[in-house]
Amino acid sequence: MSGDLPSTWFTSPPHWQWLIILYFFVGGLAGGSFFIAALIDLFGRPEDRPLSRLGYYIAFPAVLVSGVLLILDLGRPLRFWHMMVESNTWQLMFKPYSPMSVGSWSLVFFGLFSFAAFLAALADARRVRWPWALRLRPPRIAGTLVAVLGGALGFFVASYTGVLLAVTNRPIWADTPLLGLGNLANVLAATAVALEFDVPLDQIAARAAALQPARRRGELMRLPGGITLIDDSYNSSPAALRRALDTLRAATGSARKVAVLGEMLELGAHATRLHEESGAAAAAAGLDLLVAVGGPPARALADAAIRAGMPTVAVLHVASSADAVERALQRIRPGDLVLVKGSRGIGTDAVVERLKAEFA
């Protein structure tokens, strides 16, 4: 192969819209202002306190504005709520593997500390006469905690937005609609062959972007009703299901992750064990709702997911695809990412068709 390829050929720029750019900027300003103000409060001189108050005056309004910008960028206010609360059970949801979940919770807690420091700064400047608010200023114990914890959260929020801006350039291969590491490995292998024969990289990227999955074999659909659907209902096996769950686990940006998994047929004497292993993998994928469809092996999958840590209320077992459709529709809502996968004999494609009709 002739010549060297610039490393920038392997990435494409992120497609940020102005709302999220402003969210990053204002959120970074809020976090940085609080962090600097906290440092001044903790280590500065008494005559520097007006400067620290200015930092808190900036931080709290800025974090309010950044929260509004984030909600506007999400398009639906409920999406922010659904990232934090499971509406059916009212249980709080925190997903340490999800940048959206970590960022949302950090913004909320940082907002609380910013509000406390804002009130304390107003009291310190005698703009309000609330003696209790002065306890939220260092060197008092409560004030020191506000400064230390709020400063740590402010540093995180400021660096979080900056890191996202820096690292969200996407690999060229992200432009292919084929999902999962298995398809990525296939694309990369084909790319290596093409590069060896001096096929230009921009042509390879264009072909990769034009690839389409076979029908019901990992089709990605964003339905008008607000859900994102992965139709992998043509067939299933333990290895293929694990790859699909890995794809679901790595996905970000959805309010919740849902899987409707049909029984895997023709596994013989190993059926129960393999379904139990798949249930554990489903729990590890961070699902918010699992619907297992089929006979005793599907029941084993559901039970294994519960044993692996999924809440009982988040796991359903039904005998048929018709039952799965009705139960899933009761629980699935806009903002969800939904994977549907199962053996042909289980008929999980009926679930796909009903979801497409209901969320059209």
Q: 164 versus 304: which is more confidently predicted?
A: 304
* pLDDT above 70 as % of the chain: 90
Structure tokens at 290: 């699992």
With H, G, I as helix, E, B as strand and everything else as coil, classify residue 171.
strand
b/e per residue, 29-54, with b = 16+ CB within 10 A? Answer: bbbbbbbbbbbbbeebeeeebeebbb
Q: 308 — phi, psi (to 5°)?
A: -85, 0
Report if residue 2 sits inside a domain. no
pLDDT tens per residue, range 120-167: 999 999 898 898 998 998 989 999 999 999 999 999 988 876 666 555
CB atoms closer than 10 angstroms to residue 296: 12
pLDDT value at residue 6: 44
pLDDT tens-digit profile of 5-14?
444 444 555 5
Same domain (yes/no): 227, 345: yes
- 30 shares its domain with 145: yes
Q: Which of 182, 212, 242 is the last residue of a domain?
A: 212
Domain assignment present for residue 197? The answer is yes
Based on the domain organization, do 91 and 150 belong to the same domain? yes
* 281 confidence band (pLDDT: 50, 70, 90): very high
Cis preceding linkage at 213, omega within 30: no
Model confidence pLDDT, tens digit, residues 327-357: 989 999 888 999 999 998 999 999 999 999 9
pLDDT of residue 9: 45
- Which residues, 6 or more positions from 11, have their beta carbon under 8 angstroms from its beta carbon? 169, 170, 171, 172
Establish if 7 belongs to a structural domain.
no
Closest CA to 233 of 244, 223, 222: 244
Annotate 158-182 with b (16+ C-beta within 10 A) or e (fewer). bebbbebbeeeeeebbeebebbbeb
Contacts of 282 (CB under 8 A, 6+ apart): 245, 259, 261, 290, 301, 305, 308, 310
pLDDT of residue 209: 82
CA angle 26, 69, 117 (to 5 degrees): 50
Least confident of 4-8, 18-22, 59-63, 322-326: 4-8
Q: How many domains does the chain have?
A: 3
CA-to-CA distance for 1 and 256, rounded, in angstroms? 45
Crossing angle for the helix pair 271-284 and 238-250, to the nearest 10 degrees = 10
The domain boundary, picked from 141, 167, 193, lies at: 167
Query: Is 204 found in the same domain as 220?
Result: no
Residue 104: pLDDT above 90? no
Residue 282 belongs to a domain with what CATH number? 3.90.190.20
User: In this structure, are 22 and 163 located in the same domain?
Assistant: yes
For residue 139, give the amino acid letter: P
Return the minimum-mean-pLDDT range out of 119-123, 175-179, 214-218, 317-321: 175-179
Residue 197 and residue 291 in one domain: no
Query: What pLDDT does 5 receive?
Result: 44
Is the same domain home to 122 and 219?
no
Pairing of strands 170-171, 289-293: unpaired
Q: Is the residue at 145 inside a domain?
A: yes
Where in the sequence is the domain holding 234, given as residue range(s)?
214-358
- Domain membership flag for residue 11: no
Q: Evaluate whether residue 3 is within a structural domain.
A: no
Residue 289 has pLDDT above 50, yes or no: yes
- At 15, the pLDDT band (50, 70, 90 cuts) reads low
Same domain, 59 and 163: yes
Spatial contact of 308 and 283, defined as CB atoms under 8 Å apart: yes
User: What type of residue sits at position 246?
Assistant: D
Distance CA 160, CA 180 (A): 26
Token representation of residue 121: 């700064």
The answer to whether residue 223 sits within a structural domain is yes
CA–CA separation, 234 vs 243, rounded Å?
15
Q: 110, 34 in Cβ contact below 8 A?
A: yes
pLDDT digits (tens, 9 = 90+) for 183-237: 888 888 888 898 889 988 888 888 888 888 888 888 999 998 889 999 999 999 9
Judge if 149 and 280 occupy the same domain: no
pLDDT in tens, 56-85: 999 999 999 988 887 887 777 777 777 777
Out of 23-27, 48-52, 169-173, give the one with best mean pLDDT. Answer: 48-52
Mean pLDDT of the chain: 86
Nearest to 296 by CA among 277, 275, 267: 275
Tokens of 63: 């974090």
HSE of 256 in the Cβ direction (CA atoms, 13 Å)?
23
Looking at the structure, do residues 76 and 135 belong to the same domain, yes or no?
yes
Confidence of residue 263 (pLDDT cuts 50, 70, 90): very high
Banded model confidence at residue 274, pLDDT cuts 50, 70, 90: very high
**pLDDT confidence tier of residue 253, bands split at 50, 70 and 90:** confident
3-state secondary structure at position 115: helix
Which pLDDT score, from 0 to 100, does residue 4 have? 47
pTM: 0.57
Q: Is the pLDDT of residue 16 over 70?
A: no
Residue 9: inside a domain: no
Question: In this structure, are 110 and 148 located in the same domain?
Answer: yes
Residues 243 and 329 in one domain: yes
CB burial class (10 A; 0-12, 13-18, 19+) of residue 208? buried
